[in-house]
Structure 1
Amino acid sequence: MTRELNVLGACPLDCPDTCSWVVTVKDGEAVRLRGNRDHPYTRGALCVKVNRYLEHAAAPDRILHPMRRVGPKGSGSFQRITWDEALDEIARRLTSIVDEFGGEAIWPYQGTGTLGYIQGETGQAGRRLWNALGASYHDLNICSRAGNDGLRHTNGTPGGMDPETFAQSKLILLWGTNTLTSGHHLWKFIQDARAAGAHVVAIDPIRTRTADQADEYLAIRPGTDAALALALMHVVLDEGAEDRDYLENHTTGWEDFEREIRKYPPDVAAEITGIPEKDIRALGVRLAHTRPTGIRATMGIQRHRGGGTAMRTIASIPGVTGDWRHPGGGVAYSTSAHVPIQADTRPDLLEKPVRTLTMTRLAEGLEDTGDPVKCLWVYAANPMGSTSDQNRIRKGLMREDLFTVVMEQFPTDTVDYADIVLPATMQIEHTDLHAGYGHMYLIWNEPAVAPPGECLSTTETFRRVARRLGLTEPSLYDTDLEIAAQLVSGDHPALDGITVDRLREEGWVRLNYPDPFVPFTEGFPTPSGKLEFPPEGRGYVAPFSAATGGPYRLAMITPAAHTFLNTVFGNNPELRRRAGGPKILVSEKDAADRGLSDGQRVRVFNDTGEMAAHLEVSDRVAAGVVATTKGHWPKLNPDGANANVLVGEHDADMGRGAVYHDNLVEIAPLA
């Protein structure tokens, strides 16, 4: 008899929407995947990428068994081994490294391939084991750190608007965010707002598919967002529309910040941002007289030298206008800070403080000969495809004295440099708990099918490693359900009534916040209890790409592709076909100045590296700006490189954030 079962789960990928999904299972096989129609944010829809998730999980290049390298590093040549053989070698090598160099010689390099609290980054999966071994601390700063820190300076937290309240906004600024590609579920709430008369403005260096759908589009130079924010507030002051009551009772530092604002009238900002003065002034007037105004600014906006300051300054706007008073007013960056779940990583297992190794400085860390990394353990990450300074990372991974273990689902570029490869489960095959960073819900992921081959979950892999190492700490062997119960056991009011049993039964639960949720009604979590404006002189930090006079004149940004999520799906044949190979968008003027033509093969280069691409002459970028999407697997490109070969290991102004959108390049014909 054929038996059909619907299993509730959650998309694990690095996207604010964290969709609730339904997997239909027939005779033990996952046969259908759809968005959960009952979930208030997912509303039945998945994205073009995740719609192919079941196909992806069954792909012929799925890694199904442990493997040991048999060829040179980088060759991708492996032989199948048993789990016992893999664990024996891992235990032997780790023990030797700890005995000779200390636990800090181990770098557990975790990424955002899954954001789960049990299996993934949000819960720092595996950290208990690493603490028991005294391994270095991995600072996962690559995605949003500069913006998080900037928002903490202003609001005391990165948490802001509930995105669902955009339905109540009257003016919506989509600032440095391509909603229809990177979090399209918000668009339904924007459509609700537009139906009620809201005006939507897209501010972006690229005229994206979101900008095409907006009422207004402002083409801004990369990294100059803070200057625009200051100019808009300047117009608000010119209009006499600042909320004096809010400024007096709910903010601090206003006198200094007002002087900073006065330094950036629209004509000055026009020179910096490339946006015509009249357009800045017109938007400033609209902002001055439209309540509530909701600002959506996501992670791409802060991946440049002044990224933290940019978010700090943009977050000041609702302090001047008083928009935090209203549902639909304020700034939405990430809702993660509203989730009162703290994973117990057992820092008490550390015998002594350990060093911190920074994710965005992988090349530097692998080059350090004074205190060398001897084991790199990579999981939920593909640094050869996703991390800055690709050439230097490749050189570091080639070190024969570096023992590299990679837990993976597919043979990525990083896998090619591993000594041991461990097969990892995918989301439909393991238990997890998720919270979106773009909504206010916890979502349970129940495994729908058995893992294929010999694939193991992250937690089970680390339980087996701990057992093979002979470690006796009981918490290293907690089951997934025990970990889940610990995660939701806090006494924060937002968790009242939320249990593992309830999550498993219902699939998702909204956190216990008012609906609509208006943050900061009881004050800000800052030292003063108020919104804290930047001090004078701290309102704008020019990007690296603002430099002039050097050999490289084109500011390059690397936005998300519509068909990939970081490098996830970069090997899917159909999504690769839709994406095409790497291409570089260039304005007609910049192409003509260099004697280049549409469709031509070109080399894009700077002092860090070079890549080949097809040139696309486009009006989607302004003169002086070029764009190429991230996510292509280097080894699937003819020259073995992607856009990160052009990005150096530079730091943003806060949190050592990544600077993927702040690089100068040049373009020439490919010989």
Structure 2
Amino acid sequence: MSRELNVLGACPLDCPDTCSWVVTVKDGEAVRLRGNHDQPYTRGALCVKVNRYLEHTKAADRILHPMRRVGPKGSGRFERITWDEALDEIARRLTGIIDEYGGEAIWPYQGTGTLGYIQGETGQAGRRLWNALGASYHDLNICSRAGNLGLRRTNGTPGGMDPESFAESRLILLWGTNTLTSGHHLWKFIQQARAAGAHVVTIDPIRTRTADQADEHLAIRPGTDAALALALMHVVLDEGAEDRDFLENHTHGWADFEREIRRYPPSVAAEITGIPEKDIRALGVRLAHTRPTGIRATMGIQRHRGGGTAMRTIACIPGVTGDWRHVGGGVSYSTSAHVPIQADVRPDLLPGPVRTLTMTRLAEGLADAARPVKCLWVYAANPMGSTSDQNRIREGLSREDLFTVVMEQFPTDTVDYADIVLPATMQIEHFDLHAGYGHMYLMWNEPAVAPPGECLSTTETFRRVARRLGLTEPSLYDSDLEIAGQLLSGGHPALEGITVERLRREGWARMNYPDPFLPFADGFPTASGRLEFPAENEGYVPPFSAVTGGPYKLAMITPAAHTFLNTMFGNNPELGRRAGTPEILVSGKDAAERGLSDGQRVRVFNGNGEMTLHLRISDRVAQGVVATTKGNWPKLSPGGVNVNVLVDEQDADMGRGAVYHDNLVEIAPLP
């Protein structure tokens, strides 16, 4: 008799919600996927993308076997080989590279395709192996680094509010975040707050689907968020509503920062941000007199030249209003810093100091002839679709002297440039441990089915590579369950009672923090023990568009598509159908000035490259701003559309963060 089995797991994707899910298995096949109704944050709901995850695991274009390139780089022509053949070639090539150039010539390019502590980015999967080989250190800075550092300068940590406490907020600022597309589980807590009278404001250059549902939308110019934050605090001071007790007893540097605030009255901020002065003043008055105020600001807000400063200055608002005193008050960016798990990547295995190669500078790194990269090993990443300066990356990946290994599930544009392709498991096929960066829970993922074909997990692939290289370090062969036990054994009070056995049985556990949670009730983890304000003249860094001249006048931003997650699901036919033909949103005035009409095929270009798109005249963007979504696969899109052909390889003000939303372009009719 056949029977059904329900297996508890967790979504691995780069999303703050990290849902708990249940896979129903019948006769060894996964037949149903649903959100876990028992988990307090997921509450039974998955997103439009993940609802099709089981279908995705069975897609016809899934990579199931190791392959070797037989055509030119970029052609996507491969032959099937055995795992033994793949491992033999890898061992031979790596040994030769290390002997001639040293281990630093290997660049392990890991992305955020999975955020697991065992298989993915959060635990730096594979780092033990790379340390044993002396490979270059991969600085995974592409997603949230600038904002993390900005928050650390103010609060000592990027950790802040428990997102569930937004249910207690009475003013909610959704600042540079499209909640209903990129983390919709927060919305139910916002709805609870609204039912109790909360006012919801979206601050975003685009009128998103979240803005449609808010009480108010402020269309801000990209990269000017810090100027708005300063102006709002200016109004709080004008109203005499600053929390003097909190300022005196819990902050440092107030005198200098007050002078900085006074430099940005609403009239000045209106010129900078494009938001009418009366709207800035009205929101400032509301902020001054509404406690608690909760601010949700996620990663898109800090992907510009002044991204770190923007998050640093926004984080000052609850220091001025005293909102950190209140449940439902403060800033929520990422809860990752509240997770006291440190992966033991064994830095002692390194033979000596190694260089750091920066994720956002892939094109630059591959072009370095003085200290050449001779092996690029890509996993959980698709740089040909997700990384800036796509044309130069293509040049680097086309180098015949670059040995490229790609561990993948699908034939991405990056795979087309690989010498060896290794088939990777998907989430329902391996063990993993997760912590959401938008909630306070740990999640366990139990494999529900056997991997198809010859797919291997990340950890098993690296165990086999280590064995083929003849490495004898025992920790390179730790099992997944042994790694999980190590991750949970740090002794932090927040992990007390949370074991591998418990997680495998229950699927999830809330970390041992108070509920409700006031993150700074015992002070701030800064040098002073207080919230630390920026000095005068350090509150706002203008975007590139405000400090550079040139022929390109339109600020282009590239938000997430509702049906893709970065480039994941870009090859799913149904989700691609729902996404529709790629288009660029342009205001009516900008279109008229350029002689463009609605629905026209246009050329979008700057000094980095160009692409063709359908133009859509829309009131969802303000004059001077254009928008198109990220996530398209170049080889599957009309005209090879991918926005990163236009994005320069430049750095934000902190952590060399990416600047995807600080990009000037022009638009012209196709010849």
- Verify the 8 A CA contact 2:66 2:422 in the aligned structure 1: yes
Unaligned runs of 5+ residues in structure 1 are none
CA deviations over 1:150-184 (Å, ceiling 9, x no partner): 00000000000000000000000000000000000
Question: Residue 174 of structure 1: SS of its match in structure 2?
Answer: strand
Equivalence for 1:142: 142
Q: What letter matches 1:438 in structure 2?
A: G
Counterpart CA distance in 2 for 1:265 and 1:361 is 38
CA deviations over 1:94-114 (Å, ceiling 9, x no partner): 000000000000000000000
Question: Residue 536 of structure 1: SS of its match in structure 2?
Answer: coil
Equivalence for 1:617: 617
Equivalence for 1:554: 554
- Verify the 8 A CA contact 2:613 2:641 in the aligned structure 1: no
Equivalence for 2:293: 293
The answer to whether residue 86 in structure 2 is matched with residue 86 in structure 1 is yes
Counterpart CA distance in 2 for 1:62 and 1:545 is 41
Question: Residue 125 of structure 1: SS of its match in structure 2?
Answer: coil
- Verify the 8 A CA contact 1:104 1:355 in the aligned structure 2: yes
- Verify the 8 A CA contact 1:386 1:567 in the aligned structure 2: yes
Counterpart CA distance in 2 for 1:598 and 1:547 is 31
Counterpart CA distance in 1 for 2:35 and 2:271 is 45
Per the normalisation by structure 1, the TM-score is 1.00
Q: What letter matches 1:449 in structure 2?
A: V
- Verify the 8 A CA contact 1:582 1:612 in the aligned structure 2: no
- Verify the 8 A CA contact 2:61 2:410 in the aligned structure 1: yes
Deviation at 1:228, TM superposition (A): 0.1
CA deviations over 1:470-511 (Å, ceiling 9, x no partner): 000000000000000000001111001010000000000000
- Verify the 8 A CA contact 1:107 1:375 in the aligned structure 2: yes
Counterpart CA distance in 1 for 2:581 and 2:368 is 35
- Verify the 8 A CA contact 1:582 1:642 in the aligned structure 2: no
Q: How does 1:71-470 map to 2 (within 5 A)?
A: 71-470=71-470
- Verify the 8 A CA contact 2:588 2:617 in the aligned structure 1: yes
Q: What letter matches 2:444 in structure 1?
A: W
Counterpart CA distance in 1 for 2:7 and 2:303 is 38
Question: Residue 14 of structure 1: SS of its match in structure 2?
Answer: coil
Counterpart CA distance in 1 for 2:591 and 2:555 is 14
- Verify the 8 A CA contact 2:49 2:575 in the aligned structure 1: yes
Counterpart CA distance in 2 for 1:349 and 1:442 is 29
Equivalence for 2:58: 58
Unaligned runs of 5+ residues in structure 2 are none
- Verify the 8 A CA contact 1:91 1:465 in the aligned structure 2: yes
Question: Residue 665 of structure 1: SS of its match in structure 2?
Answer: strand
Counterpart CA distance in 1 for 2:662 and 2:72 is 35
Equivalence for 1:563: 563
- Verify the 8 A CA contact 1:304 1:652 in the aligned structure 2: yes
Q: What letter matches 1:497 in structure 2?
A: G
Deviation at 1:582, TM superposition (A): 1.7
Q: What letter matches 1:557 in structure 2?
A: I
Deviation at 1:548, TM superposition (A): 6.0
Counterpart CA distance in 1 for 2:423 and 2:545 is 41
Deviation at 1:550, TM superposition (A): 1.7
Equivalence for 1:510: 510
Deviation at 1:549, TM superposition (A): 4.3
CA deviations over 1:370-416 (Å, ceiling 9, x no partner): 00000000000000000000000000000000000000000000000
Equivalence for 2:488: 488
Deviation at 1:585, TM superposition (A): 0.3
Equivalence for 1:532: 532
Comparing 523-532 with 634-643, greater Cα deviation is found at: 634-643
Question: Residue 437 of structure 2: SS of its match in structure 1?
Answer: coil
Counterpart CA distance in 1 for 2:409 and 2:548 is 44
Question: Residue 563 of structure 2: SS of its match in structure 1?
Answer: coil
Q: What letter matches 2:579 in structure 1?
A: A
Counterpart CA distance in 2 for 1:589 and 1:142 is 34
Percent identity over the alignment?
88
Aligned length: 671
Deviation at 1:641, TM superposition (A): 3.6
Counterpart CA distance in 2 for 1:264 and 1:462 is 53
Counterpart CA distance in 2 for 1:353 and 1:452 is 40
Q: What letter matches 2:165 in structure 1?
A: T
Question: Residue 462 of structure 1: SS of its match in structure 2?
Answer: helix
Deviation at 1:637, TM superposition (A): 1.6
Question: Residue 576 of structure 2: SS of its match in structure 1?
Answer: helix
Equivalence for 1:16: 16
Equivalence for 1:42: 42
Counterpart CA distance in 1 for 2:253 and 2:452 is 58
- Verify the 8 A CA contact 2:20 2:42 in the aligned structure 1: yes
Question: Residue 17 of structure 1: SS of its match in structure 2?
Answer: coil
Deviation at 1:311, TM superposition (A): 0.1
CA deviations over 1:273-316 (Å, ceiling 9, x no partner): 00000000000000000000000000000000000000000000
Counterpart CA distance in 1 for 2:609 and 2:189 is 42
Per the normalisation by structure 2, the TM-score is 1.00
Question: Residue 405 of structure 1: SS of its match in structure 2?
Answer: strand
Q: What letter matches 1:175 in structure 2?
A: W
Equivalence for 2:2: 2
Q: What letter matches 1:366 in structure 2?
A: L
Q: What letter matches 1:334 in structure 2?
A: S
Counterpart CA distance in 1 for 2:549 and 2:537 is 25
Counterpart CA distance in 2 for 1:603 and 1:188 is 41
Question: Residue 237 of structure 2: SS of its match in structure 1?
Answer: helix
Counterpart CA distance in 1 for 2:132 and 2:451 is 28
Q: What letter matches 2:486 in structure 1?
A: Q
CA deviations over 1:345-381 (Å, ceiling 9, x no partner): 0000001010000000000000000000000000000
Q: What letter matches 2:72 in structure 1?
A: P
| RMSD, aligned CA | 0.5
Q: What letter matches 1:666 in structure 2?
A: E
Q: What letter matches 1:301 in structure 2?
A: I
Question: Residue 542 of structure 1: SS of its match in structure 2?
Answer: coil
Deviation at 1:581, TM superposition (A): 2.5
Counterpart CA distance in 2 for 1:669 and 1:55 is 39
- Verify the 8 A CA contact 1:235 1:285 in the aligned structure 2: yes
Deviation at 1:670, TM superposition (A): 1.6
